[in-house]
Structure 1
Amino acid sequence: MDKLEEYQRWQNNLARVRFPRWKELPTLGLYVDQVVAIVNEQLNHLGIEPLTKSMVNNYVKKKVIQAPIKKKYAVNQLVDLLLIGLLKSNFSLDDIRAGIAQVTMNSYPQAAYDRFVEILNALLAGEEIPSTNVINPQNDRLMTLALKSVLSRMDAAQLLTAMQKVAQPAPLENN
């Protein structure tokens, strides 16, 4: 079982990852290169495929995120890109956009994002999700289920990779 040390190390590292809360993100207008660097720094901690400038530009063209003002992105666009980067492996862009709209319908984007991060950080650390005076328990459930699906997919992929390094299954034979 000691050959799965790499997987154990990945799990231990994952438990130390912390996504930034809204107030910890830059508030000054950022150019696309800066936005991509910030988003990818966070995604890299989780081993998630990075976003590119082209992807961001396509998200703007498809109206998945708001267009920048004078080529500068605000914190709300940065948050949208963090969410998209995190969730895009499991959900379509339309579903991600619909989920963001649903969760922020009766809540300020900052409060909704901070709750999302609170849930994510608890799940990453293997801790119980802190209970709060949740305005809409269905929103909490939606965010929790979405995050659990992403993290479960990452976990399964990491475990499979580690197991394949230990032993390769015999190839199937054609009869």
Structure 2
Amino acid sequence: MAQTKSGLAHFELTSWQALPVMPIYMEQLLQLVNQTLAPLGITAVTKTMVNSYVKQHFFSRPVGRQYTRNQIVAVIVVTILKQDFDLTTISRAILKIRDSRAIEPRYQQFKVAFERALRLQSLQLTPADATAQAIELAAQTVGAHLLTQQRLS
């Protein structure tokens, strides 16, 4: 689904506090994550994808087939990062966050940074030339990607 500049400029990820306190089942996880990310036009998360994330150790196996806040935010963040990063890079980032045992504050940092990036990029775009805008965004994306790779190494 295509988004207008203003649509993405107003996008907000679910806050930590708004996430379910009690563990949820797979279907609830998929519904929550897909509703959250739908405005971004990202491909819907599937059960197979979530199971793959578990196998790749992005987060621990669910207990009693139920997923906690930590696992929910991992699915959200991995799904967003997959838009630009390979799974090896994502794994390095997730492991650093997991090892820090600071999942809630790191998710909040990601939330704020992601929303800020969408707002700033939307504000900086001028309506004159869509191709020039795409070139500018692509160059910024690659630059940010390279800097991210360097920081995770």
Q: TM-score, normalised by structure 1?
A: 0.64
Matched, 1:120 2:114: yes
One of 13, 28, 37 as aligned partner of 1:43: 37
CA distance change for structure 1 residues 39 and 92 in 2, over 3 Å: closer, same or farther?
same
CA deviations over 1:42-100 (Å, ceiling 9, x no partner)? 22111111110111122223323211000000000000000111011211222112112
Letter in 2 for 1:44: A
Task: Give the aligned partner of residue 66 of structure 1.
Answer: 60
C-alpha displacement of 1:111: 0.6
Structure 1: any 5+ residue segments left out of the alignment?
Answer: 1-6, 128-147, 153-175
Q: Is the 8 A contact 1:32 1:71 kept in 2?
A: yes
One of 86, 89, 108 as aligned partner of 2:83: 89
One of 14, 20, 24 as aligned partner of 1:20: 14
Find the aligned partners of 1:41 and 1:85 in 2 and give their Cα distance. 13
Find the aligned partners of 1:113 and 1:149 in 2 and give their Cα distance. 21
Letter in 1 for 2:141: S
SS at structure 1 position matched to 2:44: coil
Find the aligned partners of 1:116 and 1:40 in 2 and give their Cα distance. 18
Larger radius of gyration: 1
Q: TM-score, normalised by structure 2?
A: 0.72
Find the aligned partners of 2:96 and 2:23 in 1 and give their Cα distance. 26
One of 122, 135, 141 as aligned partner of 1:149: 141
Structure 2: any 5+ residue segments left out of the alignment?
Answer: 122-139, 145-153
CA deviations over 1:12-39 (Å, ceiling 9, x no partner)? 1111110122111111111111111111
Deviates more, 1:54-63 or 1:76-85: 54-63
SS at structure 2 position matched to 1:126: helix
Find the aligned partners of 1:107 and 1:34 in 2 and give their Cα distance. 25
Report sequence identity in percent: 29
Find the aligned partners of 1:103 and 1:56 in 2 and give their Cα distance. 19
